[in-house]
Amino acid sequence: MTYDIEGRGEARLLPWVGPEGKPCYVVTDGAGYVSRMADTVERLQLGMAGGLLDHAAEILADRRATPAQLRFLLARMSESLTDVRRIAESRGARLPVPVHRDPDVASFETSG
């Protein structure tokens, strides 16, 4: 979700939550300190997700993995997937809305 706030920029969903677990937003033109920090956090979160996937492959290939190890892995993967989903929502909200010139596409979109 993006909002143009009186020409000052758009509200960007940040890759972290507030103390009560609620989403955090910043009104930005994309060039400020908080936006740069959010970009850095997103890169770290995506990198950690990649590392976690590698670790998951190792754990799942080990037939001696214990239930405790699998539960721990699942908990970390759930946290990581939450982060990745938030990043996808934030980035998707900042994509330009495509303009369809194909009348068949336009009529399909308005009929649903």
| pLDDT value at residue 97 | 78
**Domain extents for the chain?**
10-93
Q: What is the full per-residue pLDDT of the chain (112 aa) written as tens digits?
A: 444 445 556 889 999 999 999 999 999 888 889 999 999 999 999 999 999 999 999 999 999 999 999 999 999 999 999 999 999 999 988 888 777 776 666 555 544 4
Strand partners of residue 27 = 11
Nearest CA-CA partner of 39 in 18, 12, 19: 12
pTM of the model: 0.74
Q: What is the pLDDT of residue 10?
A: 81
Name the token pair of 56: 């998951």
Residue position matching structure tokens 């670790």: 55
Q: How far is CA 79 from CA 6, 52, 61, 83, 107, in A?
A: 35, 11, 22, 6, 40
